Amino acid sequence: MSFNDPNGSNNKRPAPQSYGGESSSSQNVEEPRKRRVTGMNNAPDPLFDPPAPAPAPVPATASVPAPAPAPYYGGQLLEPPSSMPAVNTQPSFGRGLRSIAPALLMPYNAQPNILVAGHTLQELGVGIPNWVLPEEVLRRQRCIANEIEYQKNNPPALPPSRIPDLPPKKDIPDYLEFPDGVDEETRRVIEDRNNKIASEAQKIDRERNNMAAKKSRALRIEARDNYRELLIEAKAELKLVRLMLTAHGFDPAMWDHLAPHVRVNLPAQTRGEANAVDARRAELKKREDARKRVERMRARNMLRAQREAAEAAALQQAQALPGAGDGEETLQVVSPDVPTAAVDGNSADYLQVVSPRQEGQGYL
């Protein structure tokens, strides 16, 4: 089968006539394809490359206004001029070209990592928006740092207790010792005196135990009342904060919308701060009690030394009495200036046993 027409003519399309009388004999010769001109990757970038030195000022005519300088802050372009498209700083994943995006996506206000209970401000829903100006960003960051420092220095704690401490324990006289060769009458007197001292010591201990129990109960009631006052004060402050959030267009129930682990970590941190305050107060009270105990022990030793000096003086006075060298024991009433617990309603008189055969003495 032939594709030629019956008239014997060729079915090929005739070649177009060339311009200027040129022949079309070179039509079948394959010419090189023209390449599309693409943008150069090494072209100067208005955001990253330093600006070129400005040319000499040319007086602007009335018809062509002079271009306004682009605003820069910290080496970054805050707002692209009208003649420049907004360029995003994030590189694209294509051929290495930068993508075109709105200027609001530029991270010119990168915030430092401020952690609260191990969470960033963005996780807590209190991050600074991207549209805030850099000066306002710095001011808010300083305010946030000051608030975190204030919360660290003011942990939740009860006010100091107003319950007074127990008074110092009364000084009880020492028990009398039985000297060698004491007769039955003197032994009976010494035993009666020691029994009275023991009875007075038990009475003082019972009174002190009752006072300690009353103080413990008063401390519990005071702590309960203080916790209730703190709860009421915190609830009133929370009400005001919720009203302020609502007035500024925020969600007042933003605490309920936090992640569960965030709502667990924040109270755990606050509880740890409160426990640290309690431990520090307990340590300070322990040191204060130890200091008071040392002072009481020092005062008791001084009183004991004064009594011993008074006993020695009474013994010398008894030995100087006439008839003291005949081997008979004498009983004298000594009244030292040392305050002690009352025994039989008399706290200043002691019965001194003087024996010329042996220097054995005691209190009665």
Mean of per-residue pLDDT scores for the chain: 72
Least confident of 19-33, 159-173, 268-282, 310-324: 19-33
For residue 89, give its domain range: 73-153
Longest CA–CA separation in the chain, Å: 184
Please say whether the beta carbons of 44 and 52 come within 8 A: yes
pLDDT of amino acid 127: 83
Q: Give the pLDDT confidence of 124-157 residue by residue, as tens digits.
A: 888 888 888 999 989 998 999 899 999 989 998 8
Taking residue 259's Cβ as centre, other Cβ atoms within 10 Å add up to: 12
202: in domain: yes
| Confidence bin at 348 (pLDDT 50/70/90) | very low
Per-residue model confidence as pLDDT tens digits over 20-58: 444 444 444 455 555 555 544 555 555 445 555 555 555
The token duo for 130 is 């991207």
Instruction: State which of 130, 153, 176 marks the end of a domain.
Output: 153
From residue 326, how far is each of 93, 319, 323, 360 by CA, in Å? 122, 11, 6, 17
Task: Tell me if 360 is assigned to some domain.
Answer: no
- State how far the Cα of 240 lies from the Cα of 248, in Å rounded to an integer: 12
For residue 307, the model assigns a pLDDT of: 83
Q: How far apart are CA 299 and CA 306, in angstroms?
A: 11
Same domain, 133 and 243: no
Q: Note whether 248 and 104 are same-domain residues.
A: no
pLDDT value of residue 290: 92
In this prediction, residues 284-313 reach a mean pLDDT of 88
- Element holding 209 (H helix, E strand): helix 184-247
Tens-digit pLDDT profile for residues 170-181: 878 888 888 888
pLDDT digits 0-9 by tens, 58-106: 554 444 455 545 544 444 444 444 444 444 444 444 444 444 444 444 4
190 and 149 part of one domain: no
Token couple for 125? 């829903």
**pLDDT at 49 (0 to 100):** 53
Looking at the structure, do residues 195 and 306 belong to the same domain, yes or no?
yes
- The answer to whether position 27 is within a domain reads no
**Pair (241, 338) in one structural domain:** yes
Q: Residues 242, 350: one domain?
A: yes
End-to-end CA distance of the chain: 156
Nearest Cα neighbor of 196 from 361, 354, 360, 347 is 347
pLDDT reported for residue 230: 93
Residue 304 has a pLDDT of 83
Say how many domains are in the chain.
2
Q: Give the number of C-alpha atoms closer than 13 A to the C-alpha of residue 72, restricted to the C-beta side.
A: 10
